Amino acid sequence: MKKTIVTCIVALALSSASFITQAKTPAELNDLEIAHVAYTADVIDIQYAHLALALTSSEQIKKFAKTMIRDHEAVNEQALALLSKLGATAQDNFLSQKLVSDSKEIINELSQLRGKAFDKRYAENELAYHKAVNGLVAGSFIPNIENKEVKALFEAGLRIFKSHENHAAMMVKNLK
Amino acid sequence: MMTSLQLSIASFLMLFITFTGLAQASETNVEEEAKAIEGTAHIIEIRDFVFSPISVEVKAGDTITWTNFDIVPHTATAIDHSWDSGSLKLGESFTYTVTDDMQLDYFCLFHPMMKANLALEK
Ligand SMILES: [Cu+2]
């Protein structure tokens, strides 16, 4: 009986310890979790772009989608190269999971739209998505990243995604 | 007093210095001649989604070399598509020789907000 109680207390202590170290806000993520979020965010935008290539007939949207695939793939290639150089692996976390579940809803919504309605929604989502991710990168990630090389890659990434945000804003305007 | 070994090292060094001096002098001559024949070589960097310098004064016969320093690919493409670098990945370059009738306004096909231009000196 006594033994069981001790085991229970130990188990409880252990689980609460792991609960404490688990990040709950973006600012609490460690470098490897931040890298995972960024990688996931890139993959999601590539998925949106593939959906757009399949569903749009607008040349403007097609060109934009191809640029998203080309650029996000290039950034992820650099990120993987840096991680392997550092001998590290990105770590899954609450924010990556949230991004994935949100993106599933958006893909579901987008895949039911056609023509101008699709183009408009895709462009608006690209603008909102890049804005949100850029906000995270500038506000929560870059100030907290400890590794210098990882930080430099995020700074370069932010400049790229800012240009995507402007590009998306131009597209939204053109589609009005 | 110098030993003969020190002497021979010293004379070898002097010879070496003379030769390098000669080689440098003739290299500069070649460069200058090439410049006179081929015109000026202009360098444009693509960095942080900007062509830099954004405007370059050129004349027919000059060469322009664009180099991409960004992680993502860019292009240098005439607005009427009459000349085009094709996709330039990180570290890749494209060189074009200026002609009198070339299109002077250009942009990046992948990021159409990236615009720049050349000014033709007649
Ligand atoms: Cu570009």
CB contact under 8 A, B113 and A170: yes
- Among A66, A70, A159, select the one facing B49 at the smallest CB separation: A159
Q: What is the mean pLDDT of residues B62-78?
A: 97
Please state, for a pLDDT cut of 70, what percent of chain B lies above it: 69
Provide the pLDDT for residue B37: 61
Is the confidence at residue A57, as pLDDT, over 60? yes
Kindly report the CATH number assigned to the domain that includes residue B55: 2.60.40.420
Mean pLDDT check: name the lowest of A23-32, A166-175, B40-49, B79-88. Answer: A23-32
Q: Are A27 and A140 in contact (CB under 8 A)?
A: yes
* CA A33 to ligand 1 centroid distance, Å: 29
Kindly report whether the peptide bond that precedes residue B53 is cis, defined as omega within 30 degrees of 0.
yes
Q: What is the per-residue pLDDT across B13-23, written as a single tens digit (0 to 9) for each?
A: 444 444 444 44
Provide the pLDDT for residue B122: 81
Q: Are A31 and A147 in contact (CB under 8 A)?
A: yes
Tell me which residue range forms the domain holding B16.
Answer: 1-38
Provide the pLDDT for residue A104: 97
Could you tell me if B34 and B47 lie in one domain? no
Q: What is the domain count for chain B?
A: 2
User: Contacts of residue A163 in chain B, CB cutoff 8 Å?
Assistant: 49, 111, 113-114
Higher pLDDT, B27 or B66: B66
CATH fold for domain A25-174:
Ferritin (1.20.1260)
Is the confidence at residue B105, as pLDDT, over 90? yes
Give the separation between CA A58 and CA B113, rounded to whole angstroms. 18
Residue B46's DSSP bridge partners are B51, B68
Could you tell me if B20 and B75 lie in one domain? no
* CA B75 to ligand 1 centroid distance, Å: 6
- Among B48, B73, B111, select the one facing A167 at the smallest CB separation: B111
- Among A67, A160, A167, select the one facing B71 at the smallest CB separation: A160
